[in-house]
């Protein structure tokens, strides 16, 4: 009796195990999809979302490279510029900064070029150049914010079109053809998820890069302030440093012939 009970129990367990394995295999076969299948299921909105993802990757990589210390203020350039300032070789510093092709080089070049015009003009020139550099860096980074805003909207557009297709399927064939209805619902879910999948890292990268830019600009400002802290403006006044073109000259009253209207105003 016990032998029969054990045999029946073992048979039942084996059958139950086989049913579980078969169900698992069937479920795995139902859910097994390739990346291309998911892409096609998302509908037409997957193409602009893919373009946004490629642009996001490029902007992130380019942004982190541009905001690194090696690009903003290379250590060897900072040391060389400090050496020029210590020896009073401001013409050499100007030429070196102009050839450096870096943000710190542009700031020093702009500052040294205006030192003959006094401290106020030098500081204004440095501030203007730093503002230009920051605007250039933020201009590229701001596109990540645009991607972060637009991708969910593109995904939402896919959601709306998928729902419209789902309702058209229901109105035409009812629930008799669930494959068409599931395809429309799949477009809704994939489009929304894809938009969010791109938007979230885009926003994270935007704020990370913005903080890196603020730190880099702060470091450049400190380096420039240290270089020009004790600059001898009185000693360089009246001399020429650099080759910046000066457009404003002394007035030449005879250069432009007077018109009748000008003469009438002068007589009045």
What does the pLDDT read at residue 260? Answer: 57
CA distance 227 to 83: 10
Name which of 126-135, 184-193, 230-239 the model is least confident about: 184-193
Query: Is 10's pLDDT higher than 50?
Result: no
Tell me if 220 sits within 8 A of 103, measured CB to CB: yes
- 133-165 burial, b for 16+ CB within 10 Å, e for fewer? bbeebeeebebbeebbebbbebbebbbebbeeb
Alpha carbon 17 to chain centroid distance? 54
C-alpha dist (Å) from residue 229 to 39, 76, 233 = 59, 20, 11
Better pLDDT: 230 or 258 = 230
Read off the pLDDT of each residue in 171-195 and give the average, rounded to a whole number.
Answer: 64
The residue ranges of every structural domain in the chain are: 40-231
pLDDT band per the 50, 70, 90 thresholds, residue 237: confident
Question: How many CB atoms within 10 Å of residue 166?
Answer: 19
What does the pLDDT read at residue 26? Answer: 44
User: For 53-65, how does the pLDDT look when each residue is reduced to its tens digit (9 = 90+)?
Assistant: 999 999 999 999 9
The DSSP line for the chain is -HHHHHHHHHHHHHHHHHHHHHHHHHHHHHH---HHHHHHHT-TTHHHHHHHHHHHHHHHHHHHHHTSHHHHS-HHHHHHHHHHHHTT-HHHHHHHHHHH-SHHHHHHHHHHHTGGG-HHHHHHHHHHHHHHHHHHHHHHHHHHHHHHHHHHHHHHHHHHHHHHHHHHHHHHHTTS-HHHHHHHHHHHHHHHHHHHHHHHHHHHHHHHHHHHHHHHHHHHHHHHHHHSTT--HHHHTTS--S-PPP------TTSSPPPHHHHHHHH-
User: For 131-162, how does the pLDDT look when each residue is reduced to its tens digit (9 = 90+)?
Assistant: 999 999 999 899 999 999 998 888 888 777 77
pLDDT band per the 50, 70, 90 thresholds, residue 213: very high
pLDDT band per the 50, 70, 90 thresholds, residue 83: very high
Percent of the chain with pLDDT over 90: 46
Number of residues assigned to the chain = 268
Better pLDDT: 49 or 262 = 49
What does the pLDDT read at residue 11? Answer: 40
User: For 16-35, how does the pLDDT look when each residue is reduced to its tens digit (9 = 90+)?
Assistant: 334 333 443 444 444 556 65
With a CB cutoff of 8 Å and minimum separation 6, the contacts of 200 are 148
Tell me if 120 sits within 8 A of 226, measured CB to CB: no
The chain-wide mean pLDDT, for the chain, equals 78
Top mean-pLDDT range of 65-69, 244-248, 254-258: 65-69
């Amino acid at each position: 009796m016990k032998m029969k009970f054990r045999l029946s129990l073992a048979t039942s367990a084996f059958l139950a195990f086989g049913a579980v394995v078969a169900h698992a295999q069937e479920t795995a076969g139902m859910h097994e999809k390739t990346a291309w299948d998911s892409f096609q299921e998302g509908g037409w909105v997957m193409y602009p979302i893919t373009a946004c993802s490629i642009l996001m990757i490029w902007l992130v990589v380019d942004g982190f490279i541009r905001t690194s210390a090696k690009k903003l203020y290379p250590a060897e350039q900072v040391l060389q510029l400090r050496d020029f300032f210590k020896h009073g070789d401001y013409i050499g510093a100007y030429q070196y900064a102009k050839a450096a092709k870096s943000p710190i080089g542009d700031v020093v070049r702009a500052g040294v070029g205006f030192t003959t015009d006094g401290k106020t003009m030098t500081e204004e020139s440095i501030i203007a150049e730093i503002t230009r550099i920051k605007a250039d860096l933020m201009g590229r980074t701001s596109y990540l914010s645009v991607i972060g805003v637009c991708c969910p909207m593109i995904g939402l557009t896919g959601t709306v079109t998928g729902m419209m297709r789902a309702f058209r399927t229901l109105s035409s064939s009812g629930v008799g053809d669930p494959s068409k209805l599931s395809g429309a619902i799949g477009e809704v879910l994939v489009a929304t998820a894809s938009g969010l999948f791109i938007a979230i890292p885009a926003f994270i990268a935007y704020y990370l890069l913005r903080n890196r830019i603020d730190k880099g600009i702060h470091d450049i400002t400190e380096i420039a302030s240290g270089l020009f802290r004790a600059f001898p403006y009185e000693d360089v006044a009246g001399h020429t440093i650099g080759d910046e073109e000066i457009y404003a000259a002394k007035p030449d009253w005879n250069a432009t012939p007077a018109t009748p209207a000008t003469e009438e105003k002068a007589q009045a």
